[in-house]
Chains A and B, each alone.
Chain A
Amino acid sequence: MKELWELYWTFLKIGCVNFGGGYAMLPLLERELADKKKWTTLEDLRDYFSIGQCTPGVIALNVSTFIGSKRKGILGAIATCAGFLTGPIIIILIIAAFLRNFAELEVVQHAFAGIRVCVCVLIAQAVLRLWKSSVVDVFTLVLYLVIFSLSAFSGFLPVKVPAAVLVILAGAAGLAASLVKARKAGKGKEGDA
């Protein structure tokens, strides 16, 4: 019970400061969950994000579910998701009830222009830290460049490839490449997987 409460409380805090979309959450999660609580690692978090990218729903919630269920099964997942949702629900209820033009307030706009600067710095640092364990050879570098181009210039392409499709293709390419590698390395050693 104590750990469920701790899961709920930790994700409540994260949910209240998760500005700028799912990816901006990565540095926060790393700090809270990997450095402080040792519930997971930055590498695992990255893997949860890539799965969240090709499964339905909000990525932040997907990641919350992963961590919760890893710690305490289904109840843990309920605790983390409920925690994560508590802050945004209360904030939106307040805005819906009282502050119709909240986003147009000048103070709010200035504050969030500042926060956006911070968010891109945080994301840049997350990318730099994950680079070493993600882009490990020529194949992964090429894959990075291809996916980056397809997704950065999606506005200029004749058809927009959904992010989920990109992720699935990348997974398939990784699988194929690693099988080819394994075949080259293991002479005649049959895999059972």
Chain B
Amino acid sequence: MILLRLIAEFMKTGLFSVGGGLATLPFLYEMSQNTGWFTANDVADMIAVSESTPGAIGINMATYAGFKTAGIPGGIAATFGLALPSVVIILIIARFLQKFRSNRLVEGTFYGLRPASIAMITVAGLNVARIALLNLGAWEASHSLGDLFIWKALALAVVLFVAQKKLKWHPVIFIAISAVVGIVFKF
């Protein structure tokens, strides 16, 4: 019974949170109030965990809340509930897209969607860069340019950028190297 409730609650979140991981946050806060399955603090913790593990925040929160409420089956059930609506909707769109891909109206829509998509990817990258490369706290205190940049991070970014272009290694290798560099040089 609790499994069905978990599926239902997280299905609602999955259905109404449009636009990626962070869009699930307001729903998660609401759910923590309504169900008591987890606290608002748990949500904040999960944001930190999600930044340090591969999963998206919505998926992670579902797994975590489900596990706390009903063990491993709970974790799987809640995650399944979260994923289900989006999978169904995309299946319908994918079928439509295959049929109408070369349609003039669909092509026209994509003509506008493409630059928008790239713009949002740029912003997502800048948001990561702001945390990874800049030290806004120190800059606000001193207003000297030397404090604005995290210089060792900037150096790593330049090396990675050139290396990635030249070496064509798998991105995972660069991710692993960056993690090691981060630990060794105490980023």
Contacts and interface: CB of A to CB of B under 8 A. Distances in A.
Interface of A: 15-24, 26-28, 31, 46-47, 49-62, 65-66, 69-70, 74, 77-78, 81, 85, 87-89, 91-93, 95-97, 102-104, 107-127, 130-131, 133-135, 140-141, 143-145, 147-148, 151-152, 162-164, 166-167, 170-179, 182, 191, 193
Quick one: which of B125, B131, B133 has the most chain A CB within 10 A?
B125
Contacts of A54: 18-19
A187 B84 CA distance: 47
Given A120-B128, A143-B119, A147-B120, 9 more contacts: A56-B14, A60-B56, A88-B55, A109-B52, A116-B128, A119-B132, A120-B125, A121-B164, A125-B164
B182 A114 contact: yes
A45 B172 CA distance: 19
A123 B59 contact: no
B111 A22 contact: no
A69 B131 contact: no
22 contacts: A18-B54, A28-B172, A50-B117, A51-B113, A52-B90, A65-B91, A69-B90, A97-B67, A112-B51, A112-B182, A117-B157, A119-B175, A125-B164, A143-B112, A143-B115, A147-B120, A148-B122, A151-B119, A162-B23, A167-B120, A175-B108, A193-B103
> Size band of the B side of the interface?
35 or more
Contacts of A87: 54-55
Interface of B: 14-21, 23-24, 45, 48-49, 51-56, 58-60, 63-64, 67-68, 72, 75-76, 79, 82-83, 85-87, 89-91, 93-95, 97-98, 103-105, 107-126, 128-129, 131-133, 153, 156-157, 160-161, 164-165, 170-172, 174-175, 177-183, 185-187
A91 B112 contact: no
Contacts of A58: 20-21, 24, 56, 58-59, 82-83, 86
B175 A164 contact: no
Contacts of B67: 92-93, 96-97
B56 to A, nearest CB: 4
Contacts of A21: 20-21, 56, 124, 128
A155 B145 CA distance: 24
Given A115-B178, A125-B161, A102 B49 contact: yes
